[in-house]
């Protein structure tokens, strides 16, 4: 018996028991659909997270206090450190430096209030972070020198206390009870590596030091952002910054009291976390494929019992063991392949629904069904058919003709 004949007979056998075949296929459909949907959602989440990180800028470096575990009482970052890094002779690969003082506090207006992140920044913060405004102007050197009580609002803060995000320039809000004049509204940017970039307010660094975020040392800052001349120069800029800080902090070799993180570091961590999550979700969904495979084996075993006389008759007429084995194995594989094809459609449907729900809830997740996920699910479903169909097929092939013919 050739493969074409086996295929025709397998199709005839399956269509003669449509309900049973359909219920058997259903387990594979659900399993494959779940696997594809989970992988698509995981890929969408990974793309969303990495996209947000890349949106900050591929040439950005973040400098924090604290480094090696062996270093005790690490020195704080200071404005002097930022000025040294900005020296073009000491760090030629650096084109922008923005020291930041960070805290939190209550922002209120006319009875409405919200607790948000307060950032004390310099005018260099705008080009380094590539910030745009929907209205107004950014913090200037005049604001810095005058310790001006001015503020830029993130759209989430503006919406929380005003109920709108436009026409706010000139309004007066209170930050920790102190009046600040609104000079602009930041463009919406969504989530980021350090939380929402829209749930924050920006004030001049000098104002933050004197009125909102007091530190023991006057020139102390919490973070220093550094912009490299290009993405290719990030490693060189990182080394230049490290050498400057080692000299200023007088740290021993291998005992840095600071940490420099690049966008690639964040991307690697995010990709690793989302990759593990995707595999985990795919593994859970794969359990349903296993259950579907057990269902195939169960149905095929029932089929062997029901068709015992048929098998005996075939053998008596000259059918070889390989012919019987091939026929039952083909039926099993067809069941799983049909289930796999329908499961691909189900997975696409689930992914589309999840994407619509995410969009309705302003979640930036677009499920992505990759060719690798489709091929993996299809091949795996076929493998399930072979694996779980092998035992029933082998059992049918090993039946003795005489015993099979006598079976009632």
- Predicted confidence (pLDDT) per residue in 337-346, tens digit: 888 888 888 8
Residue 261 lies in a domain: no
Pairwise pLDDT comparison (96 vs 7), residue with the higher score: 96
- Say whether both 338 and 292 belong to one domain: yes
96 forms beta bridges with 227
pLDDT band of residue 245 (cuts 50, 70, 90) is: confident
Q: Computed from CA positions of residues 263, 264, 265, 271, in that sequence, does the dihedral angle turn out positive or negative?
A: positive
Q: What value does the mean pLDDT take over residues 295-300?
A: 71
Using CA atoms, how far apart are residues 185 and 30, in angstroms rounded to an integer?
A: 48
Residues 15 and 89 occupy one common structural domain: no
Query: What does the alpha-carbon distance between residue 401 and residue 406 come to, in Å, rounded to a whole number?
Result: 9
Mean pLDDT for the chain overall: 78
Token representation of residue 40: 């698509």
Q: What is the pLDDT of residue 193?
A: 46
- Reported as a pLDDT band with limits 50, 70 and 90, residue 179 is very high
Which of 4, 32, 18, 35 is CA-nearest to residue 278?
35
Over range 378-385, report the average pLDDT.
73
Residues 245 and 392 in one domain: no
Bridge partners of residue 290, in order along the sequence: none
**How many degrees, rounded to 5, is the angle at CA 343 between CA 341 and CA 347?**
125
| pLDDT at position 184 | 92
What is the pLDDT confidence band of residue 40, given thresholds at 50, 70 and 90? Answer: confident
In a domain, 58, yes or no: no
31-43: average pLDDT? 79
- One domain, residues 188 and 223: yes
Average pLDDT estimate for 141-163: 91
Q: Is the pLDDT score of 336 beyond 50?
A: yes
Do residue 201 and residue 87 come from a single domain?
Answer: yes
The answer to whether residue 272 sits within a structural domain is: yes
- Do 290 and 355 share a domain, yes or no? yes
Residues 201 and 292 in one domain: no
Q: Where are the alpha helices (DSSP H) in 16-69?
A: 18-56
223 and 85 in a common domain? yes
Digit-coded pLDDT (tens) for 65-89? 876 666 666 788 888 988 999 888 8
Q: What is the 3-state secondary structure (H, E, C) of 206-273?
A: HHHHHHHCCCCCCCEECEEEEEECCHHHHHHHHHHHHHHHHHHHCCCCCCCCEEEEEHHHHHHHHHHH
Looking at per-residue confidence, does 379 or 363 come out higher? 379
Q: Is the same domain home to 225 and 85?
A: yes
Q: Is 376 exposed, middle or buried, given 0-12, 13-18 or 19+ CB atoms closer than 10 A? A: middle
Q: Which of 256, 287, 313 is the last residue of a domain?
A: 256
The residue from 203, 226, 256 where one domain ends is 256
For range 109-113, the mean pLDDT: 87
Q: How many domains does the chain have?
A: 2
d(CA 147, CA 165): 26
Residues 240, 273, single domain; the answer is: no
Judge if 317 and 341 occupy the same domain. Answer: yes
Compute the average pLDDT of residues 239-264.
81
- Whether 263 is covered by a domain: the verdict is no
Q: Report pLDDT for 266.
A: 64
Last residue of a domain, one of 235, 256, 277: 256
Residue 189 belongs to domain spanning: 67-256
Least confident of 5-19, 86-100, 121-135, 251-265: 5-19
Q: Is there a single domain that holds both residue 245 and residue 144?
A: yes
pLDDT surpassing 60 at residue 192: no
* Under 8 Å between Cβ of 44 and 278: no
In a domain, 60, yes or no: no
């Amino acid at each position: 018996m050739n493969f074409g004949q086996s295929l025709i007979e397998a199709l005839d056998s399956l269509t003669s028991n449509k309900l049973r075949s359909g219920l058997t296929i259903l387990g594979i459909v659900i399993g494959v659909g779940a696997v594809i949907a989970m992988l698509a959602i995981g890929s969408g989440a990974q793309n969303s997270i990495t996209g947000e990180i890349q949106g900050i800028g591929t040439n950005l470096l973040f400098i924090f206090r604290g480094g090696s575990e062996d270093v005790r009482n690490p020195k704080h970052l200071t404005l002097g450190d930022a000025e040294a890094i900005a020296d073009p002779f000491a760090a030629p690969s650096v084109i922008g430096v923005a020291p930041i003082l960070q805290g939190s506090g209550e922002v209120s207006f006319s009875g409405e209030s919200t607790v948000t992140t307060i950032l004390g920044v310099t005018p260099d913060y705008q080009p380094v972070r590539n910030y745009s405004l929907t209205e107004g102007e950014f913090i200037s050197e005049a604001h810095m020198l005058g310790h001006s009580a001015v503020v830029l609002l993130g759209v989430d803060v503006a919406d929380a206390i005003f109920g709108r995000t436009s026409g706010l320039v000139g309004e007066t809000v209170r930050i920790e009870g102190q009046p600040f004049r609104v000079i602009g509204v930041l463009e919406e940017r969504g989530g980021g590596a350090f939380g929402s970039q829209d749930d924050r307010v920006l004030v001049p660094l000098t104002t933050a030091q004197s009125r909102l975020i007091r530190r023991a040392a006057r020139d102390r800052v919490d973070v220093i952002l550094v912009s490299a001349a290009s993405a290719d120069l990030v490693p060189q800029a990182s080394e230049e910054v490290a050498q400057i800080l080692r000299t200023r902090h007088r740290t021993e070799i291998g005992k840095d009291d600071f940490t420099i993180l690049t966008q690639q570091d964040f991307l690697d961590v995010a990709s690793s976390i989302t990759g593990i999550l995707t595999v985990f979700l795919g593994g859970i969904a794969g359990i349903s494929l296993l259950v579907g495979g057990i269902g195939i084996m169960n149905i095929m075993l029932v089929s062997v019992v029901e068709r015992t006389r048929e098998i005996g008759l075939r053998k008596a007429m000259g059918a070889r063991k390989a012919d019987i084995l091939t026929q039952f194995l083909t039926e099993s594989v067809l069941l799983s392949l049909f289930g796999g094809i329908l499961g691909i459609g189900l997975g696409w449907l689930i992914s589309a629904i999840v994407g619509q729900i995410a969009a309705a809830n302003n979640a930036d997740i677009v499920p992505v069904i990759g060719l690798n996920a489709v091929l993996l699910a299809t091949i795996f479903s076929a493998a399930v058919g072979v694996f779980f169909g092998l035992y029933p097929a082998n059992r049918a092939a090993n039946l003795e003709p005489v015993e099979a013919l006598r079976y009632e």
